[in-house]
Structure 1
């Protein structure tokens, strides 16, 4: 490389950014994250709030320590376009808030049955079991958020927390809880022991296997990086995202216990969303790993979806 430093032309894209520098100076050997840091320091924005692309072709510049400025193709006098993504919130915070809703709503509505449904009848054993399964599921989710997951992106737009949380709070929270703990619900009637045992078994298998796949995915990413290895292990030879497969299995178990249409609706919505995510992940795996990756035909349900 001809010089020890190069000058990059900085151009705003979209909404104006106060104090955005017209140029920055970096070394070709610097990590590409240094571009973000220099612009963030000058504009007094968080680096996570900035989207930076090459002015020549719009290619996103990664904010990473693994790629150098030279690797991005930027040279002296190259232009970079900077977009303000708006206020950001950490992915970890979003996950915590999402799962906290159902975790609080189910016990609240369960113990508020006398006021909510104007009934003096005690909850049935199935309603108690349904509460236990749902609480265990979301407690596990919160544990994984704190101690297992490593996020490829540090933040998301803050406004998304309302959309993401609304889905969980309404459909796996209020809607499911209302129809599960009602005195007229299927869970208030005598159960079929075989179906209940089957439901608990599927729930347990799904939760344990889902946790195993999450640990596998965590170990593919080194701390402090966004790099990934090729996922292998339990279920990964069958579908792109076995964690979604086992998540579905777990909720099918809950549905066999509470026999609530609200649970079925939540499962359908969840499978549709997880299937879309799995499709994108399969595409990313194929692009990232090429022939080293064993291509999968199904995203989350073998032979089905």
Structure 2
């Protein structure tokens, strides 16, 4: 039996009585963890689910992982903060990727509403429109059937921030500039389109392959991490510097860089540069996390761009 005491920080949700804190009690499990403390808070306040609780050591900002044992925190005071209403990561991704599909379809099929005139789209515009639909439809399918998430939920307020990139830049800005009347004058040959199609197909299939490899590393319902190997992760020779920690980001960047290059669209370049910049930041963090967790066992790789970064 282990006794616990947890105080409340920040603004409490309406259904939590601040006078109930510090919340004290006993945990009878053999190896009580932070997960048990969250369960005790939820037992006292059923609407205060574990997903919206942030447990920290009093005076510190870093959240304690659910599997941290209370025996390692003897003498430490715990605090709980409300993270607000939550939404599943899967739900956020579905909403994010649905936006570009709807917006591109509306701008492409109803140009008079957006440009004040009809547009006879060029073969290149139609080709890129179909690519956008296939790309984001693929992302929706991956969200439902492929991706496994380390965290079940995120604050609902993040939906607006996350959708800003996809609905704003990847949706309205990209679609407006790709299908505008002036761009319809750009002529391309069928051979050129086939070449571009092969490059985009390579990037999309390679990106999917990376996601499948990552999925295979994590059993259902687990947050287990392991070193990924294989296509994209390794260079020409296993462990060579040509490998990267986040090949999915690299292939994603190749796809949108190709769209920007062939279209000459300012909107496409903005979406490519902003998206690639964000992926470089994510890749650096994931690369550092791999190296910290696996130490010398982790292969010599770059974070995202082979041989460069």
TM-score under structure 2 length normalisation = 0.88
Per the TM alignment, residue 245 of structure 1 is displaced from its structure 2 partner at its CA by: 0.6
Q: Taking structure 1 as reference, are residues 164 and 121 closer, same or farther at Cα in structure 2, changes over 3 Å only? A: closer
Distance (Å, rounded) in 2 between the aligned partners of 1:81 and 1:31: 14
Q: Is the 8 A contact 1:286 1:295 kept in 2?
A: no
Per the TM alignment, residue 199 of structure 1 is displaced from its structure 2 partner at its CA by: 1.9
Distance (Å, rounded) in 2 between the aligned partners of 1:214 and 1:32: 31
- From 205, 222, 230, give the equivalent of 1:208: 205
Q: Is the 8 A contact 1:130 1:257 kept in 2?
A: no
Q: Is the 8 A contact 2:4 2:37 kept in 1?
A: no
- From 238, 260, 271, give the equivalent of 1:255: 260
Q: Is the 8 A contact 1:214 1:243 kept in 2?
A: yes
- From 108, 111, 125, give the equivalent of 1:113: 111
Distance (Å, rounded) in 2 between the aligned partners of 1:63 and 1:221: 18
In structure 2, the partner of 1:278 is 283
Distance (Å, rounded) in 2 between the aligned partners of 1:42 and 1:290: 42
Q: Is the 8 A contact 1:8 1:25 kept in 2?
A: yes
Partner secondary structure for residue 7 of structure 2: strand
Per the TM alignment, residue 39 of structure 1 is displaced from its structure 2 partner at its CA by: 1.3
In structure 2, the partner of 1:52 is 55
Equivalent residues in 2 for 1:158-177, closer than 5 Å: 158-177=156-175
TM-score under structure 1 length normalisation = 0.89
**Matched residue count:** 294
Q: Taking structure 1 as reference, are residues 197 and 259 closer, same or farther at Cα in structure 2, changes over 3 Å only? A: farther
Partner secondary structure for residue 184 of structure 1: helix
Q: Which runs of 5+ in 2 are unaligned?
A: 235-242
Partner secondary structure for residue 105 of structure 1: helix
Equivalent residues in 2 for 1:31-180, closer than 5 Å: 31-44=33-46, 45-55=48-58, 60-64=63-67, 68-70=69-71, 73-75=72-74, 78-180=76-178
In structure 2, the partner of 1:15 is 11
Equivalent residues in 2 for 1:184-195, closer than 5 Å: 184-185=182-183, 187-195=184-192
Equivalent residues in 2 for 1:217-256, closer than 5 Å: 217-237=214-234, 238-256=243-261
Per the TM alignment, residue 288 of structure 1 is displaced from its structure 2 partner at its CA by: 1.4
